Amino acid sequence: MATLMSGAKILLECLVREGVDCIFGYPGGVTLPLYDAMYENPIRHVLVRHEQNACFAAEGYARSTGRVGVCCATSGPGATNLVTGLVDALMDSIPVVAITGQVSTGLIGSDAFQEADTFGITRSCTKHNYLVKNIGDLPQVIHEAFHIASSGRPGPVLVDIPKDIFQGQAHYVPVSSIHLPGYKVFTEGHTGQIRRAAQMIWQAERPFVYAGGGIVASGASAELREFVELIDAPAVNTLMGLGALPADHPNFISMPGMHGSYAANMGMSGSDLLIALGVRFDDRVTGRLAAFAPHAKVIHVDIDPSEIGKNRAADLPIVGDCKRVIARLNKVLTETAPAEAGRNSEARRNWWRQIRQWKEEHPLTPAFSTTEIKPQHLMVEIDRISNGRAIVSADVGQHQMWAAQFIRFNEPRLWLNSGGLGSMGFGLPAAIGAAFANPDKIVFAVVGDGGFQMSIPELATMANYGLNVKVVVMNNGYLGMVRQWQSLFYNNRLCAVELEAFPDAAKLAGAYGFTGRTIESPADLVPALQEAIREPGPYLLNVRVSPNENVYPMVPAGAAINEMVLGPPKPVAVPK
Amino acid sequence: MLQVISLLVENKPGALMRITGVLSARGYNIESLTVARTLDPTLSRMTIVVDVDARLRTAVIKQMNKLLNVLQVSDLTDSPAVSRELVLLRIRTSQEARTAILKEAEIFGARVVDSSLEGFAIEATGDTEKMDEFINVMRSYGDIDVTRSGLVAVSLDPKKLRLSGPVPAGMAAEKLQLTDGVLNG
């Protein structure tokens, strides 16, 4: 028997049916009826301090668990503030459902108070979006939104709901199935293509595995590991894929690309078969595309057909879910191994010898000093204390690259960062989202002094909920990555990159009621990190690092990835 | 080069915006776009003519195919298809030229739909080049106003329509873990 319910209650009922336990949001005029219904609903609402951070927190929740993150904002400015987070989730294929309030249906298009064309604005920021004009459509739309966000190539879905739909009454009939005839998802991969892939792999002399965020999204880590061991090939994880193959795995090389290791980039460039799994040949990985992996045939596995051949033509495309395709490929490889495995053993041995040589010639070497804290040193100590098991949410810039280089991740979903969009201000709110989803884990927000100042309002959220988030600010007094480019490519004409007037960390955190501390001596680094871990709840550690350090290796814009700059050309003179 | 794209789309608000968004986001200018309901009133057939870099033609088709409201996309540029345009043309002319205009209209298979002392309204259909020619010829007889429909096309090599079936609603979280639960096109 259908019960008469308000639209707001129907929405919450659907969220409960989707297993939602937590909404990151900020209320406003048109969402008042929704928040009134939340008053007596079991779903936890987390009040963030800015809507952009609601979306980043929902991403942190989703990235660290694989479940759909949910955020909520009011109409107009609330909705427009979500936009950066939505694009961020779209670029990194993160399942997020955003609920926005809209002015009542009768007022839409009248320039009403706090009205914005959210449906139009977010069309290109989402995988799909909805404007609900009829209360009867609401259950269907909500379940569709969750299905779309979480299946296929995941992504953000926005549902815009006018106030009168929240307030209206309807007989709620639970939706048992959804039908999206135009939503095409291919998971299994073509059997013939999978067989051909196995052949190509056995025939290759210098195979190389290039695995990315698609492995994490499909939960294919175990399959990837089995695959890498079956064919005993060197493997890299992209920035989005760190942890997909454990960092401690003997076949793991490092991250490739603009700030990837020498061995990773030389390996890609020298390979004769690139096995690309859940990656999109991003420009930060490939460098100059025309010179990327010039000797390699490419096997490209991706769930999104539009990624195949987008940047690099695939010699063997397989459209499917990484987990399913790699599992099926492993089966074929196991069957054919007795006849094929030893085929190129000589060449394979030489290939490994070459890879090891590259690793030894130019390993990723952290810098240390006895007088100042080198940023790499900071990352090495965070790595030591987290031992491949802590969640690390990074912001965007130099610290992000050093963290990716020096912090090991032995499991997927530990490394959270804004890979595709590169949104500064992501790290802290994403850590908040992750902390809600993983109350038993240590969560580091490793951020720069630039991005941190974009997220300062969320210190209140951390204090409010007593969250176990350890904020580590790698403070070099600069917008470091921009300064690095100005110093290397713009004759060191530094413009608008000095961040003066950074707040006193102890006073800042103290103002919110938790501990903050600034350190600048290398001797204080380990004790301070230990204190941060020991102390329950939030902690702010401001680490003054050497200001002029640059991230190396570096592939300059427009260069091929084997044309790396391995270290500073000359001492960089920056007045400070 | 000009690309001819035929789409079968759900007749829903925003569908047109999503499709043209694929083109406008890349800075492509649409030459013509026609859309109307099909036999099934919940679906529309759309024909788009657009100037796209030859190497990005496939990418554009794939991007459109990804849109949820799009059931099928075909690139008709090089595949067997019939395409036509409708031209409605009003011509103001002198009494002396009227017979000649009617003759010309007949050559183009055009039909007079209105006649007055000032001139005629004429409808013509044909492929784009033929319609260009028709308009050119008519222009030589007097002042004209022209409305063109844009190209409508039908493929002569119809692809099988592959649609996804229904899936259970609720608990997306569990579906995500269970990859097999994702519907398979």
Taking each helix axis from N to C end, the angle separating A7-17 and A138-150, rounded to the nearest 10 degrees, works out to: 30
Q: What is the pLDDT of residue A350?
A: 98
A553 close to A260: Cβ distance less than 8 angstroms: yes
Residue B144 belongs to some domain of the structure: yes
Inform me whether the C-beta atom of residue A95 falls under 8 Å from chain B C-beta atoms.
Answer: yes
The structure tokens listed for A310 are 């987008």
Distances from the Cα of A348 to the Cαs of A202, A273, A345, A352, A359, in angstroms? 10, 12, 5, 6, 17
Inform me whether the C-beta atom of residue A196 falls under 8 Å from chain B C-beta atoms.
Answer: no
Looking at the structure, do residues B13 and B26 belong to the same domain, yes or no?
A: yes
Interface test with B, best of A184, A185, A218, A322 (most B CBs within 10 A): A184
Assign residue A444 a region (left: φ > 0; alpha: ψ between -120 and 50; beta: otherwise).
beta
Q: What is the pLDDT of residue A1?
A: 60
Inform me whether the C-beta atom of residue B42 falls under 8 Å from chain A C-beta atoms.
Answer: no
Catalytic residue among A9, A127, A163, A323: A163
Looking at the structure, do residues B93 and B68 belong to the same domain, yes or no?
A: no
- Least CA distance to B170: which residue of chain A? A18
Instruction: Using pLDDT thresholds of 50, 70 and 90, give the confidence band for residue A575.
Output: low
Q: Is the pLDDT of residue A62 over 80?
A: yes
- Exposed/middle/buried for A561, CB within 10 Å: 0-12, 13-18, 19+? buried
Inform me whether the C-beta atom of residue A207 falls under 8 Å from chain B C-beta atoms.
Answer: no
Looking at the structure, do residues B27 and B46 belong to the same domain, yes or no?
A: yes
Specify the DSSP class assigned to residue B165.
-
Helix (H, G, I), strand (E, B) or coil at A226: helix
Q: What is the pLDDT of residues A292-341, one digit of tens each?
A: 999 999 999 999 999 999 999 999 999 999 999 999 999 999 999 999 98
Q: Do A178 and B169 touch (CB under 8 A)?
A: yes
Could you confirm whether A51 is annotated as catalytic?
yes
- Which amino acid, one-letter code, is at A571? P
Q: Is the pLDDT of residue A402 over 80?
A: yes
The structure tokens listed for B119 are 């001139």
Looking at the structure, do residues B75 and B116 belong to the same domain, yes or no?
A: no
Distance from CA of A420 to the nearest CA of B (A): 18
- Least CA distance to A149: which residue of chain B? B172
A275 close to A367: Cβ distance less than 8 angstroms: no
Distance from CA of A292 to the nearest CA of B (A): 19
Looking at the structure, do residues B99 and B138 belong to the same domain, yes or no?
A: yes
Distance from CA of B169 to the nearest CA of A (A): 5
Q: Is the pLDDT of residue A545 over 60?
A: yes
Residue B179 belongs to some domain of the structure: no
ipTM: 0.90
* Number of domains into which chain B is organized: 2
Catalytic residue among A113, A357, A489, A507: A113
Q: What is the pLDDT of residues B73-118, one digit of tens each?
A: 999 999 999 999 999 999 999 999 999 999 999 999 999 999 999 9
Separation between Cα atoms, residue A243 and residue A213, nearest integer Å: 10
Residue B182 belongs to some domain of the structure: no
A160 close to A138: Cβ distance less than 8 angstroms: no
Separation between Cα atoms, residue A286 and residue A479, nearest integer Å: 25
Q: What is the pLDDT of residue A570?
A: 58
Q: What is the pLDDT of residue B172?
A: 54
Interface test with A, best of B53, B159, B182 (most A CBs within 10 A): B182
Specify the DSSP class assigned to residue A467.
-
Instruction: Using pLDDT thresholds of 50, 70 and 90, give the confidence band for residue B173.
Output: very low
Residue B184 belongs to some domain of the structure: no
Q: What is the pLDDT of residue B181?
A: 35
Residue B131's domain is classified under what CATH number?
A: 3.30.70.1150
Residue B165 belongs to some domain of the structure: no
In Å, how far from its chain's centre is CA A553?
22
Q: Which strand ranges, in their side-by-side order, compose the sheet holding B111-115?
A: B111-115, B119-126, B81-92, B143-155
- Least CA distance to B61: which residue of chain A? A306
A105 close to A162: Cβ distance less than 8 angstroms: yes
Catalytic residue among A240, A258, A462, A481: A481
Residue B177 belongs to some domain of the structure: no
- Among B79, B105, B125, residue at a domain's last position: B79
The stretch B161-184 carries a mean pLDDT of: 63
Instruction: Using pLDDT thresholds of 50, 70 and 90, give the confidence band for residue B184.
Output: very low
Q: Is the pLDDT of residue A571 over 70?
A: no
| Nearest CB to B164 within list A120, A180, A304 | A180
Q: What percent of chain B has a predicted confidence (pLDDT) above 70?
A: 92
| Nearest CB to B171 within list A17, A95, A149 | A17
A239 close to A222: Cβ distance less than 8 angstroms: no
Looking at the structure, do residues B71 and B122 belong to the same domain, yes or no?
A: no
Inform me whether the C-beta atom of residue A363 falls under 8 Å from chain B C-beta atoms.
Answer: no
Looking at the structure, do residues B70 and B6 belong to the same domain, yes or no?
A: yes
Separation between Cα atoms, residue B56 and residue A25, nearest integer Å: 40
Separation between Cα atoms, residue A209 and residue A201, nearest integer Å: 10
Residue B176 belongs to some domain of the structure: no
Q: Residue B128: which H helix or E strand, with range?
A: helix B128-139
In Å, how far from its chain's centre is CA A46?
21
Residue B91 belongs to some domain of the structure: yes
Could you confirm whether A570 is annotated as catalytic?
no
- Among B61, B79, B97, residue at a domain's last position: B79
Q: Do A179 and B13 touch (CB under 8 A)?
A: no
Inform me whether the C-beta atom of residue B162 falls under 8 Å from chain A C-beta atoms.
Answer: yes
Looking at the structure, do residues B56 and B99 belong to the same domain, yes or no?
A: no
Q: Do B14 and A219 touch (CB under 8 A)?
A: no
- Among B79, B113, B131, residue at a domain's last position: B79
Quick one: which of A54, A70, A83 has its CA closest to A16?
A70
Separation between Cα atoms, residue A412 and residue A215, nearest integer Å: 9
- Least CA distance to A152: which residue of chain B? B182
The structure tokens listed for A237 are 């994880």
Quick one: which of A147, A109, A115 has its CA closest to A128?
A147
Q: Do A183 and B68 touch (CB under 8 A)?
A: yes
Q: Do A185 and B182 touch (CB under 8 A)?
A: yes
The structure tokens listed for A371 are 């007088």
Q: What is the pLDDT of residues B138-160, one digit of tens each?
A: 999 999 999 999 999 999 987 88
| Nearest CB to B21 within list A124, A146, A179 | A124
Looking at the structure, do residues B88 and B70 belong to the same domain, yes or no?
A: no
Looking at the structure, do residues B75 and B9 belong to the same domain, yes or no?
A: yes
Q: What is the pLDDT of residues A125-178, one digit of tens each?
A: 999 999 999 999 999 999 999 999 999 999 999 999 999 999 999 999 999 999
Instruction: Using pLDDT thresholds of 50, 70 and 90, give the confidence band for residue B54.
Output: confident
The stretch A398-423 carries a mean pLDDT of: 97
Q: What is the pLDDT of residue A342?
A: 86
Quick one: which of A24, A38, A121 has its CA closest to A435?
A24
Q: Do A66 and B71 touch (CB under 8 A)?
A: no
Residue B38's domain is classified under what CATH number?
A: 3.30.70.260
Poorest-confidence range of A95-109, A268-282, B48-62, B159-173? B159-173
* Domain span holding position B11: 2-79
Quick one: which of A530, A541, A570, A405 has its CA closest to A474?
A541
pTM for this predicted structure: 0.95
Helix (H, G, I), strand (E, B) or coil at A519: strand
Quick one: which of A372, A306, A362, A314 has its CA closest to A153?
A306
Looking at the structure, do residues B53 and B87 belong to the same domain, yes or no?
A: no
A416 close to A393: Cβ distance less than 8 angstroms: yes
Q: What is the pLDDT of residue A480?
A: 97
Inform me whether the C-beta atom of residue B27 falls under 8 Å from chain A C-beta atoms.
Answer: no
| Nearest CB to B168 within list A67, A119, A176 | A176
Looking at the structure, do residues B86 and B137 belong to the same domain, yes or no?
A: yes
Inform me whether the C-beta atom of residue A191 falls under 8 Å from chain B C-beta atoms.
Answer: no
